[in-house]
Amino acid sequence: MKPERMERRRFLKGTLGAASLVALSGCDNLTQSSWFPSLLSKAEKFTEAAQRAVTPKDALAKEYREADISAIFPANGNTDPGTDAYAEHLAQNFSEWTLEVVGLVKTPRSWSLAALKELPFRTQITRHDCVEGWSALGKWSGVPIGDLMHQVEPSPNARYAVFHCADVDDEGIAYYESMALADCYHPQTILAYELNGVPLDVPHGAPLRLRCERQLGYKQAKYVMRIELVESLADIGGGKGGYWEDQGYEWYAGI
Amino acid sequence: MAGLIQFTNESVSPGAETIRIAELPVSATTPVNDRGASVAPSLERVYRHRLPVRISHWLNVPVLIILIMSGFQIFNAHPALYWGDRSDRDWPLLSMLPVQTDSGEIKGITTILGHQFETTGVLGYSNGMVRGFPAWATVPSGKWLAMGRQWHLFFAWLFVINGLIFTAYALASRHATRDLIPTGKDWRGIGTSLKDHLLLRHPSGDEAKRYHVLQKLAYAMILFLVAPVIVLTGLAMSPTIDTAFPWLLTIFGGRQAARTLHFVACLSFVGFILIHVAQVILTGFFNNIRSMVTGWFTVRHEGVSYEA
């Protein structure tokens, strides 16, 4: 065999071997390394910075017509908190349910569900984009969180709003979520108590759930009991800012 | 003449990196090749790919493979596609789902526009697992949406940055207009080019120095249509970007339509890559690879010259 042909054969073999190695086992090895996922996660900050830079602060998510509402709005994640305390609230039709706003605020406050329903409300037909890929359209009514913030007056060092929820998963881990305090003032960021004109049912987060329409579905915390304003997320839950975030999903869920 | 190498049996083994005689196109302007021509065949080295193009090309190799495979991982989280803004689960355009038969056996069924195909072992159900695409086609191989998204969104940035730099270079250097956009003459020769391709006859000599019309069309479509569409439909799936640029939803027909078009654009990339690699192999693998690594491409002249 001529040297050149041998060289070519070696080259071909090497290329194909390297390609399949990289494609099949290489990626999985990288995934299991300690440094690579942390490198990958750098993209999240980049994405957040880029998206915030190009998105006007109060730009509204598209609002749809009644005719566009999904016939079935799927309920994902925990579909029943399953605790005795929650069962009692449900039996009382949430008459004793209170929402507390605490933490880095001038005047901590709490509202009963009935008191919240007395406040000015917003109704919006919006699209819910699940991280899995599907979308559903629903009509949400609730209190703009910005209105509540004006009443409690956040401290200057408050950076995040943490939403503590009534649901715990099969392993007993309590659900929580968080968002940038600035996003709480977006006009479409509401604590919803109605879906499609009727009070929220249990699978969809009764009696109160978060709607922040510019982020993915897993940020839309259900069964909200307490909003805590904090400076850092490090000491809460797994430290990543939410139930799903602690399992590897991005905290910034704009895409 | 600089760069002209005399053809001898020592420098190049027959049928190696040069274009084979049998593949010469025969057209009205090309004199029929006389094997016994008195003018000796020669090899000409041409500088075919400039450095920015080569760097951009090779970056795209791992980036695209990872984007496609991590994209399949993300798709697997909800292996169905829809039109419009909503996912009406009874009406998917495409789905890959497991179906249990009467005997208890699980089959993978892929449904495209209402037509069902059994795809057990590949799509819908593979290796005893319920999943759209099989483990060998996804990154990571196991079912892991969060990690698939991490890979995808990181490499999406590399793809976009690489694409923007390439586009700026291609426009500034006139690579786009000079080499990639078909000319009027190209369009008129499309019939001949198509026929030559189907017969696996590839250009040689001076004709091989530039891209022919089908090549230009394939590259131009991928670079200036499919790549922008895949980026824009990716962005249209972002609820934040949709508030900044609501026209994205309008032009693509809704978020779920954008997801479907993202998938179609992805399959276009897969198709392009398969044909591209096949052509690279068929038209002289070593010469092609070398030209994309070093820039230098060897053109064989058969001992007769003709005006293109």
DSSP at B205: G
* CA–CA gap between residue B254 and residue B86 (Å, rounded): 8
Q: Residue A20: its pLDDT value, please?
A: 58
Q: What is the pLDDT of residues B259-306, one digit of tens each?
A: 999 999 999 999 999 999 999 999 999 999 999 999 999 998 876 544
CA distance A136 to chain B (A): 5
Q: Residue A8: its pLDDT value, please?
A: 62
Q: Residue A12: its pLDDT value, please?
A: 62
* CA–CA gap between residue B94 and residue B232 (Å, rounded): 21
> Hey, are the CB atoms on B140 and A27 less than 8 Å from each other?
yes
Which among A132, A186, A246, A251 is the top mutation candidate for probing chain B, defined by the most B β-carbons within 10 Å of its own β-carbon?
A132
The model's confidence at residue B208, banded by pLDDT at 50, 70 and 90, is: confident
Peptide bond preceding A144 in cis form (omega within 30 of 0): no
Q: Residue B27 pLDDT more than 80?
A: no
* CA–CA gap between residue B194 and residue B72 (Å, rounded): 33
Contact list, B289 vs chain A (CB under 8 Å) = 11
Exposed, middle or buried by CB within 10 Å (0-12, 13-18, 19+), for B141? middle
Which among A4, A131, A137, A255 is the top mutation candidate for probing chain B, defined by the most B β-carbons within 10 Å of its own β-carbon?
A255
Q: Residue A36: its pLDDT value, please?
A: 93
Does B290 touch chain A if contact means CB atoms closer than 8 Å?
no
* Alpha carbon B255 to chain centroid, angstroms: 25
pLDDT by 10s per residue, chain A, length 255: 455 666 666 666 666 666 655 666 788 999 999 899 999 999 999 999 999 999 999 999 999 999 999 999 999 999 999 999 999 999 999 999 999 999 999 999 999 999 999 999 999 999 999 999 999 999 999 999 999 999 999 999 999 999 999 999 888 899 999 999 999 999 999 999 999 999 999 999 999 999 999 999 999 999 999 999 999 999 999 999 999 999 999 999 999
Q: Six-digit token pair at A25?
A: 């086992």
Exposed, middle or buried by CB within 10 Å (0-12, 13-18, 19+), for B95? buried
Residues 158-177 of B with CB under 8 A from A: none
- Measure CB to CB from residue A59 to each of B234, B244, B285 and give the nearest one: B244
Q: State the amino acid at position A50 in one-letter form.
A: A
**φ/ψ (deg, to 5) at A241:** 100, 0
Q: How many CB pairs under 8 A join A and B?
A: 145
Task: List, in order, residues 6 or more apart from B161 with CB less than 8 Å away.
Answer: none
Q: What is the pLDDT of residues A93-114, one digit of tens each?
A: 999 999 999 999 999 999 999 9
CB contact burial B264-280 (16+ within 10 A = b; e otherwise): bbbebbeebbeeeeebe
Residue in A closest to B137 by C-alpha? A24
Residue A177 belongs to what H/E stretch? strand A174-180
**ipTM reported for the complex, 2 dp:** 0.90
Contact list, B85 vs chain A (CB under 8 Å) = 64, 68, 127, 135, 137
Bridge partners for A160 per DSSP: A180, A230
Kindly report the number of other CB atoms within 10 A of residue B174's CB atom: 10
The model's confidence at residue B198, banded by pLDDT at 50, 70 and 90, is: confident
> Hey, are the CB atoms on B146 and A24 less than 8 Å from each other?
no
Q: Residue B300: its pLDDT value, please?
A: 87
Q: State the amino acid at position A24 in one-letter form.
A: L
Does A29 touch chain B if contact means CB atoms closer than 8 Å?
no
Which one, of B303, B305, B306, lies nearest residue B39 by Cα?
Answer: B303
- Measure CB to CB from residue B78 to each of A68, A134, A137 and give the nearest one: A134
Q: What is the pLDDT of residues A69-79, one digit of tens each?
A: 999 999 999 99
CB contact burial B220-233 (16+ within 10 A = b; e otherwise): bebbeebbebbbbb
Residues 93-132 of B with CB under 8 A from A: none
pTM of the model: 0.87
> Hey, are the CB atoms on B241 and A255 less than 8 Å from each other?
yes
Exposed, middle or buried by CB within 10 Å (0-12, 13-18, 19+), for B252? buried
Q: Residue B24 pLDDT more than 70?
A: no
Contact list, A135 vs chain B (CB under 8 Å) = 85-87, 255-256
Mean pLDDT of chain B: 87
Which among A29, A31, A68, A72 is the top mutation candidate for probing chain B, defined by the most B β-carbons within 10 Å of its own β-carbon?
A31
> Hey, are the CB atoms on A24 and B286 less than 8 Å from each other?
no
- Measure CB to CB from residue A215 to each of B62, B78, B239 and give the nearest one: B239
